[in-house]
Amino acid sequence: MSDANSHKAEMQKLQAEQKRKTDEARDPDRGLVLVHTGDGKGKSSSAFGVIVRALGWGKSVGVVQFIKGKWITGERQFFDKLGRGDWHTMGDGFTWDTQDKDKDIEAAKAAFAKAEKMMASGDYDLIVLDEINIAMRYDYLSVETVLDGLRARHQKTSVILTGRDAKDELCDYADLVSEMREIKHPFKAGIKAQRGLDF
């Protein structure tokens, strides 16, 4: 068999297997829970990409940011200009900037109270809880509190939770868990964060 015929036969076999899996898959009739974690960059960026995809399909979206505070980001400016999406930046900044655990806990609890109302409302197809994993990592929020909020969400609402060090219990509950792994980072070579690439 020629290389071309061999390749075609292999691709036909893969196509048939993919079709079988697709035919057997079912619609869950509920929103999904996605976790973006790991020590590499791209967790929030990936979530914002999913927001763009959802908006492209006319879905309603919301964002609650837990850590980034008043830092001006390109994604926030984009969605403000677009005039779509319900965006709430509720953190007071990176944990090493605030240096006030009580204030950080208060901010995280306020952000999650907002998120709980949004998740339960039925007004959103997709909600991103940006950097919430960091809030759980530092015990500003308990994983049980977050799981209770996810369980109480409206049936149609999907939720993406981002940030390093996602709790095992959260990963067990989620439908999808993606881990970003750092291989190389320009900051370690002394290159500062770049507008439009990093924020």
pLDDT tens-place string over residues 57-108: 999 999 999 986 666 788 888 888 887 889 998 865 555 555 688 888 999 9
Question: Residue 65 CB: number of other CB atoms within 10 A?
Answer: 23
pLDDT digit string (tens) for 108-149? 999 999 999 999 999 999 999 999 999 999 999 999 999 999
Q: Are 136 and 146 in contact (CB under 8 A)?
A: yes
**Spatial CB neighbours of 157, under 8 Å, sequence gap ≥ 6:** 31, 119, 122, 124, 125, 126, 127
* CA angle, residues 130, 63, 197, in degrees to nearest 5: 60
HSE of 39, CA atoms in CB hemisphere, 13 A: 4
Query: What pLDDT, on the 0 to 100 scale, is given for residue 171?
Result: 98
At residue 189, the pLDDT reads 84
Concatenating the DSSP letter of every residue in 110-127 gives: HHHHHHHHHHHHS--SEE
Mean pLDDT of the chain: 90
Distance in angstroms (rounded) separating the CA atoms of residues 160 and 63: 9
What's the confidence (pLDDT) of residue 70?
A: 67
Type of residue numbered 195:
R
Strands of the sheet containing 158-162, edge to edge, are 86-89, 61-65, 126-130, 158-162, 33-37, 176-179
**Predicted local distance difference test score (pLDDT) of residue 5:** 86
Say whether pLDDT at 169 is over 90: yes
Cα 40 from Cα 95, distance rounded (Å): 18
Of the two residues 84 and 34, the one the predictor is more confident about is 34
Domains of the chain: 31-181 (3.40.50.300)
